[in-house]
Amino acid sequence: MQTFTTLTGIAAPLPMINVDTDMIIPKQFLKTIKRTGLGRNLFDEMRYDANGVEKPDFVLNRPAYRGAQVLIAGANFGCGSSREHAPWAILDFGIRCIIAPGFADIFYNNCFKNGILPVKLPQEQVDRLMAAAERGAGATVTVDLEHQEIRGPDGERVSFDVDPFRKRCLMEGLDDIGLTLRKDAAIRAFEQRHAHEHPWL
C-alpha cells in the first residue's frame, strides 16, 4: 500500500449528501477482483451519458479537476452497500483524501485499508473548503497527516482527528497483509515449533 504523509493537490467539490457506493461505482463494474482500472468508471452514471460520452458539467470531467487528488464531499459519504470496489475506484482515479462532515462506517474503514485518508470535519469547515474548491485549478490544498492539519488555498489551517493506529498504518503504507508480514519471523518460528511438537497434524 502506498504511504500517505503529506499530500498537496487540487480539491474537487462534490456538494452532495448521501452519496452511496452504487453512485461511486455502479454494480455492473463489480465483476473484477482487480484494484486497478476502476477509476474510469468512478461516478459512472454522473460522469457519462447513455452513450458513454462524458457529461461536461460533472466536476471530475471539468479540465480544472481532472487531476484532483482531494475530494470535498457532503455528509454521509459512502453509504449503501459495503462494496470495497468503491475505495478502489476512488484510489485508481487518483484521489487520496476525502473530506466530509461524515462517512458511512464500512466505507470509512475501507478507505484506511486501501491507502485513502477520510477526514471528518464540522460542516462549517467543510463549507469553507468547498467554497475554496469551487475556484478550480487554484484550489490547491495540503493535507498533512503527520501534523493532522489541512492548509487551504487561502492559508487557512484546519486541524483534524485521526485514530493513531490508522494514522501509523497510512504513514507506513501498511494494509492488513503488510501488518501480518511484519510478524513473519514470529509466524515462521511458531509454525516450525508447532510442526515439531505436533508432527501428526
Q: In sequence order, what DSSP letters do the residues of 78-96 get, joined into one string? A: TBSS--THHHHHHHHHT--
pLDDT at 81: 87
* CATH number, domain 6-173, options 3.20.19.10, 1.10.540.10, 3.40.50.2300, 3.30.1490.20: 3.20.19.10
Q: Which three cell numbers stand for residue 156?
A: 487557512
Residues 6+ apart with CB under 8 A from 198: none
pLDDT at 176: 66
- At residue 177, does pLDDT exceed 80? no
| Cβ atoms of residues 74 and 15 within 8 Å | yes
Rounded to 10 deg, the angle between the 164-172 and 105-113 helix axes is 40
Q: Is the overall model pTM greater than 0.85, yes or no?
A: yes
- Nearest CA to 171 out of 182, 160, 162 is that of 162
- At residue 181, does pLDDT exceed 60? no
